[in-house]
Each structure stands twice: as structure tokens, then as C-alpha cells.
Amino acid sequence: MRIYLDDNKKELASIICNKCKKEIKVENGIVKEGCFCGDTQFGYFSNKDGMKYFFDLCEECYDKMITEFAVPVETEEVKELL
């Protein structure tokens, strides 16, 4: 869950992990620790057509979630680090 300083959602104040409620470190609008940003919109053929879904997970909750996957997540080395 993202909390913004302004109504236009431009200035990020803080992020709360939707699963465990841990506050994810944000300084001057920049996310300073691991965070999974869930942002999806199901399509016409789903039961959720017309809705967007947003959530955030801290790195620990993300790690727990992916251990439950039957097929491991795909990974790829990033050449240019953020």
C-alpha cells in the first residue's frame, strides 16, 4: 500500500507491505529497500474486468510467496543496476 503526500500521487511518502504491514523504507520519494510492486489489470475474459489491482510486498514476504510456486520464478542478470 502506497501513501502519498499529494492527491496526484506524485510524491511518495511511504509504502506498507500489504501482507505483514511492515513499513518499507522510503526517503525523499525513493524506495530504499527491496519491494515487490504488484500492479495488474485483468482483462475482458476474467471475472475482474474493469478493475485495476495494486499491492506491495516487502522482500521477505515476496521470498515467502515465491517459495510456494510450483514453477520457480525466472531470473535474469541485470547489466545496468539501478
Contacts of 23 (CB under 8 A, 6+ apart): 14, 15, 16, 17
1-9, 37-45, 53-61, 71-79 -> range binding Zn ion (CB under 5 A): 53-61
Query: Is residue 51 involved in binding Zn ion (CB under 5 A)?
Result: no
Query: Is residue 22 involved in binding Zn ion (CB under 5 A)?
Result: yes
CB-nearer residue toward Zn ion: 20 or 66: 20
Q: Which residues bind Zn ion (CB under 5 A)?
A: 17, 19-20, 22, 58, 61
